[in-house]
Amino acid sequence: MKKIYKILSILFLFCTFACTTVTVEHKSLTRQQIIEAPNVNKDDLFVKANTTAVDVFNNADAVIQYSDKEAGIIKGKFITDIAVYGGTTRAEVTITIEVKDEKVRLSFSDVDAWYVNIYGQKVPGEPNLKHQSSNYKKLSAILDALANRFTEKFNEDTSW
C-alpha cells in the first residue's frame, strides 16, 4: 500500500511540473501605413480602395463591413490561410482604409487566428500564430504584400 502511495505521489509531482503553462510573447500585427497618391483626389482613391478591397477579399467570409464615401472610410474583414506543418492556421484581420485627397491610411488590427481542419472547420485550441514565430512571419509577409497591392493600385494610372 505504501508503494502505491509513493508511486502516486511521484506521478502527481511529475504531472504537476509537466503541466505548467508557458506564455510566449509575440509582436503585435497591428499596424498603420500612410500611402501617398500625388494628384489623385479623394473620390478616385475611394473607388480604387473599394475595388481593390473587393479583389483581395476573395474568401466567402471576408467582406466589406462598412463603407462611407462621404467620410472616406472602408472597413472590412480579411481572411487568409497559412499552411503549417500538419495543418492550417486561418487568420482574420480587420482592415480599415481611410482616404482623403492624395493620401490613404491603411490600418490592420484585431488579428485573430485559429487552427482549421481539412474541412475548413475551426478546431479548438490555442492559435499557433501566438507561439510559432514562423506563422507570425508568414502572416506579416502576407500583410506586407497586401499593403503593397493597395499601394500599387492607388498609384496606378486608370485613364483609357
Query: Under CATH, which number does the domain 28-154 receive?
Result: 3.30.530.80
Pairing of strands 87-100, 64-68: unpaired
Phi-psi region for residue 42, left (φ > 0), alpha (ψ -120 to 50) or beta?
A: alpha
* Ranges of each domain in the chain: 28-154
Cα(93)–Cα(86) distance, integer angstroms: 23
| CA–CA distance, 107 with 96 (Å, rounded to integer) | 5
- Report how far residue 78's alpha carbon sits from residue 37's, in angstroms, rounded to the nearest whole number: 23
Set of cell numbers at residue 138: 508568414
The C-alpha atoms of residue 32 and residue 53 are separated, in whole angstroms, by 16
Condensed to tens digits (0 to 9), the pLDDT of residues 21-37 reads 333 333 456 889 999 98
Question: What are the tens digits of pLDDT across the range 121-130?
Answer: 777 665 555 5
